[in-house]
């Protein structure tokens, strides 16, 4: 037991955030708190002097937690093929981007710390020192180099404050020949944009064209535009580099998404009436932490709360019953990649008689659950190369509309997924311009939300394949109300 608790604590305290955003500190704090609670519960469970709490005995809560983790750890085969991205792959990504830039007639791609920086710079090293974007411009630039035979490779350079130069060199960013990084430095009393323009990187170019990453802050783009550069937005060719997943990326996505589904499945038979949404959230968080997954988001909703797809400030305290429709939308991180899955289910009744429920909404719950699953099936069948993003959404939406619940499907069908949970292309019925291609990965998450009653959503991850049949990356789809 002590060893198990240590594993959980290490997973939480050694977890390195893979990106910076406003909610990062809150998620990290929640991760640490969840670990402390778990340790206390597991110790208490083995203590003969444990007395329990009012309304819900902590001994029972501890048993639910232990049951969930024990179930989860019985089969961790989903981790077997997932390996950190190797250094050479980061170099290959930059080369592919450089080739897109050459095709677009662009002099350089420019980006700040964030998801894209991690994608091209190194997202999987566990000792990465997070770099928070600040008021001093720190930029990565990827420039196309065209050789005499016409082949294109990437030259990678950085713009950094002089006092941060050493820190940049310590980041361990993969390079082609292990030579020192190419860094343009600027002093704090200089204009960083003029310094960049006059540097060796753009020698002989009157007005270099820079393609700005979508995460670039406005004041940086305006600074570049106002000091001799011309900035343009992402091109389809540049976006396709990140949209097309490598074999290694696919295995990481498979591992983290299959594992997240497995955690929900492991927890479900352990749940009992009386638990609150917040308690179930903590149980699932601790279950994910127990194998080293990083916490990302976790939305647990019961009954009518499930009609709010992303919950709200009023959720968290509702208690579970054997008739509650449970909707869990959860994502985790593993080696820099994201999961994003959703399951809708019922818990096992105490008497074991699943069909004897007196819930007046039971028949409609079963009906809606199946309609949403059928919609997900239709969308998966439409995930073929050269189909539009719109057509995939419409395939699912048509099933729900034909069943009379079109008003209850209130969001797009899905989105791309990779190191970031939400990536382009986006599967909505207006996105007729984006076409699917092999190597793209998507969420497939139709839902029906009946305000004041309940909600249902099924979410799995699919890989678009050359042969036309999309591949499931979440292990197993939901099979029934008691088998999510």
Please determine, for residue 475, whether its predicted confidence score (pLDDT) is greater than 50.
yes
pLDDT digits (tens, 9 = 90+) for 434-463: 999 999 999 999 999 999 999 999 999 999
Q: Residue 391: how many CA atoms within 13 Å on its side-chain side?
A: 13
pLDDT at 24: 43
Query: Average pLDDT for residues 88-97, to the nearest whole number?
Result: 96
Pick from 36-45, 165-174, 461-470: least confident = 36-45
**Which residue did the predictor score with more confidence, 141 or 352?**
141
State residue 358's pLDDT score. Answer: 84
pLDDT given for residue 146 in this prediction: 95
Q: Give me the mean pLDDT over the 128-153 stretch.
A: 90
Lowest mean pLDDT segment, chosen from 17-26, 30-39, 235-244, 309-318 = 17-26
Q: What is the dihedral of CA 353, 355, 358, 364, to 10 degrees?
A: 150
* pLDDT value at residue 20: 34
Of 239, 215, 242, nearest in space to 89 by CA: 242
Distance CA 402, CA 446 (A): 14
Residue 55 scores a pLDDT above 90: no
Q: How many CB atoms lie within 10 A of CB 359?
A: 15
Higher-confidence residue: 246 or 174?
246
What region, left, alpha or beta, does residue 346 occupy, with left being phi > 0 and alpha being psi -120 to 50 degrees? beta
**What integer is the mean pLDDT of 52-74?**
77
pLDDT reading at 38 higher than 80? no
């Amino acid at each position: 037991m002590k060893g198990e608790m240590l594993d959980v604590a290490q997973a939480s305290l050694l977890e390195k955030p893979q990106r910076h955003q406003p909610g990062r500190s809150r998620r990290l704090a929640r991760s640490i708190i969840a670990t402390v609670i778990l340790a206390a519960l597991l110790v208490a469970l083995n203590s003969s002097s444990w007395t329990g709490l009012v309304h819900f005995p902590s001994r029972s809560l501890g048993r639910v937690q232990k049951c969930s983790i024990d179930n989860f750890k019985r089969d961790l085969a989903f981790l077997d093929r997932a390996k950190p991205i190797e250094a050479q792959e980061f170099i290959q990504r930059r080369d592919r981007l450089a080739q897109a830039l050459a095709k677009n007639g662009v002099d350089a791609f420019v980006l700040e710390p964030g998801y894209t920086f991690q994608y091209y710079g190194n997202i999987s090293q566990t000792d990465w020192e997070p770099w928070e974007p600040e008021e001093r411009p720190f930029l990565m630039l990827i420039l196309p180099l065209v050789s005499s035979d016409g082949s294109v490779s990437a030259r990678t350079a950085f713009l950094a404050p002089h006092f941060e130069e050493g820190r940049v060199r310590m980041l361990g960013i993969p390079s082609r020949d292990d030579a020192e990084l190419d860094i343009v430095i600027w002093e704090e009393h200089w204009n960083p944009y003029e310094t960049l323009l006059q540097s060796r990187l753009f020698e002989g170019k009157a007005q270099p064209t820079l393609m700005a990453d979508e995460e670039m802050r406005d004041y940086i783009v305006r600074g570049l535009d106002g000091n001799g550069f011309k900035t343009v937005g992402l091109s389809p060719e540049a976006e396709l580099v990140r949209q097309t997943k490598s074999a290694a990326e696919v295995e990481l996505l498979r591992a983290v998404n299959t594992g997240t589904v497995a955690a929900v499945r492991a927890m479900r038979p352990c749940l009992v009436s009386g638990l609150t949404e917040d308690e179930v959230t903590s149980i699932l968080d601790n279950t994910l932490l127990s194998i080293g997954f990083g916490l990302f988001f976790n939305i647990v909703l019961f009954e009518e709360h499930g009609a709010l797809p992303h919950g709200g400030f009023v959720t968290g305290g509702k208690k579970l019953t054997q008739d509650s429709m449970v909707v869990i939308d959860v994502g985790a991180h593993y080696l820099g990649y994201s999961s994003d899955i959703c399951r809708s289910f019922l818990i096992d009744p105490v008497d074991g008689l699943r069909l004897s429920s007196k819930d007046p909404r039971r028949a409609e719950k079963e009906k809606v659950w199946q309609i949403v699953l059928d919609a997900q099936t239709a969308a998966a069948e439409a995930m073929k190369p050269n189909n539009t993003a719109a057509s995939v959404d419409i395939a699912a939406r048509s099933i729900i509309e034909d069943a009379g619940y079109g008003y209850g499907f209130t969001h797009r069908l899905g989105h791309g997924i990779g190191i970031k949970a939400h990536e382009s292309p986006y599967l909505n019925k207006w996105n007729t311009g984006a076409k699917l291609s092999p190597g793209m990965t998507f969420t497939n998450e139709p839902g029906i939300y009946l305000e004041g009653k309940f909600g249902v959503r099924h979410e799995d991850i699919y890989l678009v394949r050359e042969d036309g049949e999309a591949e499931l990356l979440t292990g197993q789809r939901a099979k029934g109300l008691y088998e999510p």
